[in-house]
Each structure stands twice: as C-alpha cells, then as structure tokens.
Amino acid sequence: MNLTKFIPVSLMVAAFAAAWVLIGQYYNLALWVPFISWPLYFVYDPDATKLKRIPKEIVGLLGGIVFGYVTLWLAPQIGNVSGATWALPLTVFLVAFTIVMLELTNLFELAPAYFFSYAGYFAYVFGGFAGAYSLGTAFQAMLPYGALILVGLAIGLVTAYLRRIILQAEGLYGFAQRTVFDKEI
C-alpha cells in the first residue's frame, strides 16, 4: 500500500477522533476512555472481518471493569489476613492469575482487553479523570466507565469497516489493504 491510498483512511480516523472529542467536550465526558477500546478493536480485527470476536471483546472490556471493582472489594478482605502491605499485591496477583487463566476458555480469552479496561477503571475512579459523570462510589463508576469503553469499541468497529470500504474503493482488496502493522499480526 502506498501513502496516497492511505491518506483517506487517516483523514477518516482523524475526523472520528475529532468528532468524539467535540461531542465528549460538549457533554463533559471523560474523553480518554474510548481511546482505550477503540484501538484495541484494530489489534484484534484490523480488517473488520471477524465480527464474531466482538462479543469476546465486550466480555473482556467489561470483565476488566468487574475485576477492577472486585479488586477494590477484595483487597480489604485480604488485608484483614495478610496485613495492609500485602493486601493490594496479593489481590492483584489473584486477579491477574485469573485473567490469564481465562485465556484457556473460548469466550473469555482476550486478556489484553481485561487488563486495558482494568487499568483504566482505576484512573477513572481514583485519578480524577471521570468528567462530569464521576458518581461518587467505585461501584457507581462502573456504568459510565463501561458505557464509554463500549463507545470506543463501537467507534473501532465503524472505523475499521469504513477503512475497508475506502480501500476497496481505491482498488485494494484483502492483503493489499494491510499496513506494516497489519502484516505483523
């Protein structure tokens, strides 16, 4: 693929990014959250041809949020036994072990999706980066954060589909649509 054939794709993605930021600013949303799940879609399906993976991505992204909340709930319980110093490390150990073991299943195996949303959940809850929808408790934060994560996944799906359509309109099909990154996957 050459540079001139890829410029329309770059313009389309840039327009979606700018549109999201404009909309998010207007509603005072956490602008950064969809940028976690949007590119994640491209890692799993750059050609927008594996739609059957979307449920797995949704499960992984939302599962990371649930594991984030479980971490906050479980750490004090573990701390009662292990002491405060070991409470969080042991809890994260158990969560990370569980997430990685889920890779052996069919529906729950996208570990990077879990870890990306897991990490983002803590930034959303504790980092002061939640925008207008910071709802007070870690449990209440799960819904707006999860909705924004799913917005990013939806943008990823739409932009991947439009990327394919744009490149087909330029006469590029299949392997010819791949960039250097896509060829490495």
At 5, the amino acid letter reads K
Residue 67's SS3 state is helix
Q: Are 127 and 134 spatial neighbours (Cβ–Cβ below 8 Å)?
A: no
Q: How far apart are the first and last CA of the chain?
A: 16
**Per-residue pLDDT, 127:** 79
Alpha carbon distances (Å) from 122 to 68, 74, 91? 7, 15, 14
Give the model confidence (pLDDT) of 7-32 as tens digits.
999 999 999 999 999 999 999 999 99
**Per-residue pLDDT, 109:** 87
pTM of the model: 0.88
Give the model confidence (pLDDT) of 37-82 as tens digits.
998 877 766 665 667 788 999 999 999 999 999 999 999 999 999 9
Record the tokens describing residue 120, joined without a space. Answer: 């983002």
Residue 77's SS3 state is helix
